Every structure is written in structure tokens, then in C-alpha cells.
Structure 1
Amino acid sequence: MAFKRYVQVGRVVLINQGPNEGKLAVIVEIIDHNKALIDGPCTGVDRQPLAYRNISLTPYVIKAVARGMGSGAIAKKWQASGVDEKFAQSAWAKKRAARQAKADTSDFDRFQIMLLKKQRRSLVSRQAAKIKA
């Protein structure tokens, strides 16, 4: 099966490690086979070289981004393409948000969730018993 996401100028990436973890950026320049120069003017990511092992390639490409383009021009292209909204609607972003929400729950929240699940299970089992009878 062929690859569908290539490292290319204009490719939107998700940062996996470091202080900008979880933020989106765009590849501005390919430095070598291990690193790329990324910039995320709309997401608060400074222009910096980053190793490919620390990023994930998203399916989104901003076609109008040229090699070495400045941050201001990238910000305009970013806003015009609507990458933030597209990524927020993706299953990938929704799974990340759900995982983060689960990690942020407190002990009491987990207890309340357990009680609600118990309640739901009871209702479902009663209805199933009625249908069988």
C-alpha cells in the first residue's frame, strides 16, 4: 500500500513531543532527512527545526505555502484554508479530546460515572427482561 502523506512544504503537522505538544504547525522548509523547519503563527508555535520523530503528518496540506515563506504570509494562508476547523472536526482530534477529558477526571467524577453506568445497565437489563418475557 502506498503512502498518502508525504513530508512536503505546506504539510500540516501535529507536534507529539516538547513544549508545543498537541499543537498544529506547517512545514516551511525541509532541512534534511531527519528534520524540517516548522512554523505555526496561528497556533503559537515559533518557527523552529523539529525532528520528524516528534511530529505526525496530518492529511491537510496548505498548497499556497512556498519554501521559506514568512510567518505573516503563512498566517494568512492558514486562516484562508480553515485548517483549525477541519482538524477540530476530524476523528483524530475528537479522540485526542476524549482521551484528554478522561485523563482530567477526578476521583469523584469517575465515581459519578460508575453510578450512572450502573443505572443505565439496570434499565437496559429490565427492558431486555420485559422483551424476553
Structure 2
Amino acid sequence: MKKLNGHNLKPLQGQRMLSPSVLLELYDEPVSFHRSFVELGGGVTAALFLSCACHEASQLPPDSDGWLRLSTEQWREATCLSRTEQETARRALRDRGLIEERRVGMPARLEIRVDVARLVELLQSQAARKYEGLEQIDYSAGAGG
């Protein structure tokens, strides 16, 4: 039986084997997001956009101002979201105070910055609700008890 990246290429009963190009398409790089951002952002689309924005921000030089200067097409490449899906996600994140936006230059170019303090605040609140009582455990005694 043939394999690609550890996956069996056995055709389904009654089906012919998938072509190499279909397999490459099937095993293309996945798009992922932080599950905890779904509730924070108001849905999967916003969670995906916020996850990507956090990743992009983490790649900025330490002395940067935090503004992301990606075009709509670059965001589409990173997230697979259409322009309207990006706009909807950004609106939801903006309404929750998770991102800031500004237009700069001529012609105007959209820049986005994650409000990390707000993100941490909402994550802490969400975690406190989800894992109620966990914060009351005294971890200072160490593993030796």
C-alpha cells in the first residue's frame, strides 16, 4: 500500500486512487486558530483572524510599534478569509476592543494592532469562569509538598 506523509493512499472501495495533485491539495498547509479566541472574538472567523494577527505580531521586531501592515490579499493568504469575512471579523474584534485600526499614507493603507492588554484581560476573565476555583489552589508550596 502506498503512503504519503505517513497516510495510507488506499483508494476507497469502488474509487480510483487520488492523483498526486489532489493529494497535495488535500495535505496543503492547515489554517489554525486558538480555540479560546472563539468566545472572545464572537465566532470562528474572528478567532481565526485574531489568532493570525497575534502570530504576525509575534514576528515583529521587539522595538516595533505593534502595527501590522498587511494588505487584504496578505491577510487572505494567511487566513483564507475573503475581504468581507475579514471586514466582519475585524468589526467584531474592534467592537470588543481586541484590535485597533488606523489608516495611514496616501493612498490610505489599513494597519491593525492587537490590544494585548485587553486580550489578556478577556482571557483571564474567560479562564476564571471556565476553571472556577482553580486559582484558589496554593502552588507556592512546590511539588515537594
Same fold (TM > 0.5):
no
In proportion to residue count, which structure has more strand? 1
The two structures have a TM-score, normalised by structure 2, of 0.27
The two structures have a TM-score, normalised by structure 1, of 0.28
